[in-house]
Amino acid sequence: MKLFVALLAVGLPALAAAHSWIVCTDYLENNGWYWDAAKCRAWPRNAEQYNLRDRVFGEAGGTAGFVHRLDNHPELTPLCNDPRDDANSYQLPMAAYYLGQKVVLTHPTNNHASDPNCDISNKRGRADTENLMFVVDGDEDPCCIDSDKLIQIMDMGVSPYNHGDVQFSDEVLSTYPKVGFQNAPKFCEDPADAMGTYNFTIPMDMKPGRHTFVWKWIRVPSVNPFTTCWEADVFATKAERDAHYLATGRTTEDMWDFYEINTIVDGVIVDPVDPVDPVITG
């Protein structure tokens, strides 16, 4: 029994460090380095209840119960952390997208990345197995991860990591931006709370209207999926979406790419640029 308890104690930190969740559902900076709540236009379900905006970035889900893993029987576990309740779940704003829009999502890394500059896993590499985006067909929450109401709209790829016979050079592992979960350029500065970003595109054939979106991440096949759910109003055109955002006091500036607007030399930003918008900068 003592041996079992000791082994369990050793294993718990690794398990705790593996979770994650989506913090922002419409972020204004693709491939960004540092989290800035002012650049977030929209949030997941019950973000205010879980204090996603004001907590330390990487502590929001783990300490407040927002993290959602499909434990035990993923095919039976409710897909979303909280039931859908549009009228009461969006004290922090709901997203609005338009067909063809590239949407940026943010998430904390929670010690889960492979970077040789701060390899905390003794060169084994942190795994990244699956990063998918779904939209729900219909107005009700799907029962579970294998519901036929879920429609996959994008595979966001997996990050490179060393495993078995698959070995990447240090240069590949430390080059950003990268696909998948581990797209967190400043991971080494703060492995627990560093910001990672994804982006996905709203399909041109999506029917305008309100939809539920679902993010799904699988770290390794032996660990059940993590999910985050949110609602968004999808408009046929940017002009319609912009009118909605203006009416709700939000900027119509769409995302910019950090690496396209900044000159970076040896990991240092030279002549930094931040798009000027009073709604963003306050």
- Please check whether residue 114 is in contact with residue 184, taking contact to mean a CB–CB distance below 8 angstroms: no
Stretch (H or E) spanning 279: helix 278-281
CA distances from 20 to 174, 272, 275, 280 (A): 21, 30, 29, 26
Neighbours of 152 (CB within 10 A): 11
Answer yes or no: is 14 within a domain.
no
- Please check whether residue 250 is in contact with residue 41, taking contact to mean a CB–CB distance below 8 angstroms: yes
Q: What is the mean pLDDT of the chain?
A: 86
CA 267, 22, 27, 192 torsion-angle sign: negative
Residue 13 has pLDDT above 60, yes or no: no
For the stretch 100-148, pLDDT in tens is: 999 999 999 998 888 988 866 555 678 999 999 999 988 888 888 889 9
Residue numbers of the domain that contains 143:
20-281
Answer yes or no: is 124 within a domain.
yes
What mean pLDDT do residues 42-60 have? 87
Q: Calculate what percentage of the chain has a pLDDT beyond 90.
A: 58
Considering the entire predicted model, what is its pTM? 0.88
Answer yes or no: is 4 within a domain.
no
Residue 82 confidence (pLDDT): 93
Half-sphere exposure of 29 (CA within 13 A, CB side): 25
Q: What is the CATH number of the domain that holds 157?
A: 2.70.50
Answer yes or no: is 1 within a domain.
no
Instruction: Domain count for the chain, please give it.
Output: 1
Answer yes or no: is 159 within a domain.
yes
Answer yes or no: is 5 within a domain.
no
Answer yes or no: is 9 within a domain.
no
Q: How many helices (H) and strands (E) does the chain have?
A: 6, 11
For the stretch 52-99, pLDDT in tens is: 998 888 775 444 578 888 877 778 888 999 999 999 999 999 999 999
Query: Please, what is the Cα angle at 150 between 137 and 16, to 5 degrees?
Result: 135
Distance CA 41, CA 133 (A): 19
Coil, helix or strand for 24?
strand
Residue 59 confidence (pLDDT): 72
Q: Which of 139, 142, 132, 69 is nearest to 105 (CA)?
A: 132
Which residue did the predictor score with more confidence, 266 or 157?
Answer: 157
Residue 46 confidence (pLDDT): 95
Residue 84 confidence (pLDDT): 94
For the stretch 213-223, pLDDT in tens is: 999 999 988 88
